[in-house]
Amino acid sequence: MTIVAGVDSSTQSCKLVVCDADTGTVVRQRQIPHPDGTEVPPATWWEALRAASEQMMREVAAISVAGQQHGLVVLDAAGYPVRDALLWNDTRSAEAAAQLVGELGGPQAWADAVGSVPLAAHTVAKLRWFADHEPELADRTSKVLLPHDYLTWLLRGGDADTEPTTDRGDASGTGYWSPAAGRYRRDLLSLAFRGRTPELPRVLAPAEIAGHTPGGRVVAAGTGDNAAAALGLGIEEGDVVVSLGSSGTVFSRSPRPSADASGAVNGFADATGAFLPLVCTLNAARVLDSTATLLGTDISGLEVLAAQSPPGADGLTLLPYLAGERTPNLPHAAGSLHGLRPHTMRPHHLARAAIEGMLCNIADALDRLPTVPRRILLIGGAARSRLIAHTAAAIFHATVTVPEPGEYVARGAARQAAWALRGGAGPPAWPSPPATEFPPPARRFGDAIRQRYAEVRDMYYPPA
């Protein structure tokens, strides 16, 4: 049996799974937490990966890293970080993003150039913030990497002779690589970084080998976390994935690149040679975690409370913009609770409103995706709740398919490692995970919930 490993280096933790290269069966797995925050020392990701790998890598022939997208890792000429990494959820670069949109000639110009319009999350906006607020450190920057690029580079030795690499899936989230043209837009890099032109990673093909570890293991190209999740789930055209992590993502596989001038849809590439139009929200499971903490319970307790409230929470509506929001683009927004009356000021109504508010925000994102869903797959920690799955089916008014719990980002990375090891025209044909279907209810109460949510949203944040 040939063994491969996949890594999910996310905001919260490093997850490592070891799989049978032929079947995808998980042989063993481990998880190590990452520090909290929107900027962290990138060395902590490497320490977590090393800790996760202890006694896990025996007989492993190949490894691949999937990482959180957009994070800015800047290295000096000797390969040391110039500053802590700025993560995707750091919103200080919102003004920088707006500046860049205007400097290139507007949203359509950016959408045509790189498939996405810069927001605070994108690497290109973080580079502009960095150049303007820390110019001395920017002057010392020799290389600009993404989180998965940094870990892949370190796996291969991480010295001056090791060329940094990336893949098209992760590169497409920077704001200076074009998925349609398949190349860097170094003019946009220079624009963002005030004339500086640091070294960028070489962009590898989906099954291309990045190199080898000092011990001789194959290191695959790696990719971004959403592209890896798509690979781990084995999605096909017409499948739409709704991922409920701390943030929320809605994405699908497409044979064609997208260029949405509204900025809502990110025109990413995927990890197979196709494309991955994606809409992202900053707030998903974090809304549930925060509400559970407020109510003095945990996620299981929150679900028990919510089940005691009727659909619609008797009119209590939560706008879930707790960390600002990316879609809609409201980086400085805050959450709002509307409909407080004596009879709605109860823990069970708040618990229900939190779930419904989160899912209405996701439904707004789903509406923006340029794909008619053939199937909606619900993944992420919050998808394990049957109440959330039933509520999602009602609010989306569609059958929701929930794969059995699994580390699909890490599994996708492992599948890519097997592909790089074995070669071939496509990734290995691992079986799809077992899943449970949740059809929409006969009574369309989800429509009323969405309508009430839209009224409150538009009252606080009127459409332009």
Total number of domains in the chain: 2
Closest residue by Cα to residue 411 from 66, 13, 70: 66
* Whether the Cβ atoms of residue 179 and residue 116 lie closer than 8 Å to each other: no
User: Which residues on neighbouring strands pair with residue 204, listed in sequence order?
Assistant: 167
The residues with which 24 forms a beta bridge, in sequence order, are none
Give the whole-number percent of the chain exceeding pLDDT 90: 94
| One domain for residues 184 and 110 | yes
* Residue that is last in its domain, among 187, 221, 255: 221
Task: Check if the beta carbon of residue 84 is closer than 8 Å to that of residue 40.
Answer: yes
Burial of 463 from C-beta contacts in 10 A (0-12 / 13-18 / 19+): exposed
Residue 217 reports pLDDT greater than 90: yes
Domain membership of residue 174 (yes or no) is: yes
Confidence of residue 381 (pLDDT cuts 50, 70, 90): confident
DSSP per residue, 64-117: EEEE-SS-BEEE-TTS-BSSPEEPTT--TTHHHHHHHHHHHTSHHHHHHHHSS-
Q: Which tokens belong to 198?
A: 């640091």
Q: Give the C-alpha separation, 175 to 92, whole Å.
A: 17
DSSP state of 12: S
133 annotated ligand binder = no
- Pair 318, 309: CB distance under 8 Å: no
Q: Are 216 and 301 found together in one domain?
A: no
| Domain end residue (candidates: 193, 221, 249) | 221
Are residues 458 and 362 part of one domain?
A: yes
103, 196: one domain: yes
pLDDT at residue 160, rounded to an integer: 84
- Cβ count within 10 A of residue 122: 29
Domain presence at residue 410: no
Model confidence over 273-325: pLDDT tens digits? 999 999 999 999 999 999 999 999 999 999 999 999 999 999 999 999 999 99
Mean pLDDT of 45-56: 97
Which of 170, 225, 289, 364 is catalytic? The answer is: 225
Are 241 and 316 within one domain? yes
d(CA 178, CA 201): 14
Which DSSP state fits 370?
S
Last residue of a domain, one of 221, 249, 275: 221
User: DSSP string covering 186-203, please?
Assistant: HHHHHHHTTT---B-PEE
Q: Is 58 helix (H, G, I), strand (E, B) or coil?
A: coil
Compute the distance between CA of residue 28 and CA of residue 25 in angstroms, rounded to an integer.
9
CATH number, position 306:
3.30.420.40
Tell whether the model's pLDDT for residue 349 goes beyond 90: yes
**How many C-beta neighbours within 10 Å does residue 437 have?**
11
d(CA 417, CA 154): 17
The residues with which 76 forms a beta bridge, in sequence order, are: none
- What is the DSSP secondary-structure string of 393-457? HHHHTS-EEEEPS--HHHHHHHHHHHHHHH--SS---PPPPPEEEEPPPSS-HHHHHHHHHHHHH
Q: Would residue 412 count as lying in a domain? A: no
Domain identity same for 102 and 160:
yes
Range of the domain at 258: 234-398+434-463
Residue 204 lies in a domain: yes
Q: What pLDDT is stored for residue 1 in this prediction?
A: 86
Whether 225 is catalytic is yes
Q: How many CA atoms does the CB half-sphere of 99 hold within 13 Å?
A: 17
Considering the domain architecture, whether residues 169 and 247 belong to the same structural domain is answered as no
- In a shared domain, residues 203 and 349: no
pLDDT for residue 394:
97
Confidence category of residue 223, pLDDT binned at 50, 70, 90: very high
120 pLDDT above the threshold of 80: yes
How high is the pLDDT of residue 245?
87
User: Which of 276, 350, 364, 283 has its CA nearest to residue 316?
Assistant: 350
Distance CA 207, CA 272 (A): 8
- pLDDT tens-place string over residues 410-441: 999 999 999 999 998 899 999 999 999 999 99
Residue 439's alpha-carbon distances to 355, 381, 390, in angstroms, are 18, 20, 8
* DSSP assignment letter at 221: -
> 311 and 449: one domain?
yes
Half-sphere exposure of 423 (CA within 13 A, CB side): 0
pLDDT tens-digit profile of 236-269? 989 999 999 888 999 999 999 999 999 999 999 9
Same domain for 443 and 309: yes
Q: Phi, psi at residue 418, to the nearest 5°?
A: -65, -35
Nearest-angstrom CA–CA distance, 243 and 293: 22
Is residue 464 over pLDDT 80? Answer: no
Q: How many alpha carbons fall within 13 Å on the CB side of residue 148?
A: 39
Mean predicted lDDT score pLDDT of the chain: 96
| 70 annotated ligand binder | yes
Question: Are residues 169 and 202 both part of a single domain?
Answer: yes
